[in-house]
Structure 1
């Protein structure tokens, strides 16, 4: 029997991991925060001793990018100390750790996709806290895979797709940033990639470790992504707002964002055979899921 521990099961990625069609013989356990505080190293060790697992996937994170600018301690507690505790516990238990990170560890310079070994230089507190988590995992459990992703979207009420649906229903005009470039990542697709890595690391001690990137295929902007969403809504006979562009500077978010969030997926393709599909091909089903969640 293969047991996979999922930390952060209540988030949009955690829910996608729980719902993933795992192979026969695989059991997924996703304790709540009350049942297991992943930032408590002693609690993590005790839990793993009492409930051994084959691998750990850490999808827990503080993701309020703008609020992190004033809630610095909370961001670092979740995004750096939590992974540190999980890495310490995983190493003591002999379990590989698959940890999710972000494109926000990069400054976002240039226009080429960031390679996994490119220098990191976060622009905001959230990115810095995630960079701290990466370092903690790499040092705390060498048998780990850190998977950076970008622009994660799922069927939950807090996703970008859900936000665009609200705009379509409530406003005649939508102004969306058009100078940040990257690729949306569908939560179910990222969950499948993480599952592939975790199962292989659980079965093979020589499975590749280190840094990886995963994002769906297709270079766009947030404005371009919004346009694709509204086109899908219009095709369903729904009203859509007039879409206008706005710069990041004019939008005025408290936290600076990288202008280039493109990620090279060459290593995850080579080492794990994970081939990301175009985000545009996954969008219709994702929108169906968001709409279904609101009926």
Structure 2
């Protein structure tokens, strides 16, 4: 089950279970994004995430996370990060306002296998600058995913994310302190998948690997700080941020994006990448 570098390799049936977890994640994210309207609180969104997990008989991989490290266990099922908060925002009674940008990171476990993804929601009427930030981050995620293939290396994915984010007129801050990762029987596993790097470097990608690609970018600088709650990470300069993520399986047929309702078919096909579901 563990290949070189202790990277977990899954068989077809295990990937199918991860797809079930991924669909729970996709459903929860869709409902939380739809509920991200002016007047809603971040706690309201977290409650929706809890309802979706319960509806499917799944469990949360976020709730209680961190206890093993001796820090405050994470109290929500979703990380809900508003405006200058980059990641790990704790759900509370903060109200959303027209023009806000909200990153929602969410996961689920089904029969011991994990799914993990993130979406950025735009609240009401947002500025063009904020809309473009979210779209640039989303596109960089897919540009990175498109480089995943047997024989490629993790650096190919990382480089593609970086090149994509640097291709825009705006000089976005690429967050380097937090990365994508392997996933399977744990939420965070080898290998790390940074959002910057050099092509042709790093572990080789093989069939049976499952990876999370998750770029985070800001309108300003990449420097960030963790607040005293042990979780909330905000930009040091107060600039607003976006976060997108998907769980991707490398199958014998191509790529299967386990946390997208269509398995990633539309985006992969548009990029000329083989769509490889195991349905």
Common fold by TM > 0.5: no
TM-score (norm 2): 0.29
Higher strand residue share: 2
TM-score (norm 1): 0.28
Higher helix residue share: 1
For the pair shown, the structure with the greater C-alpha radius of gyration is 1
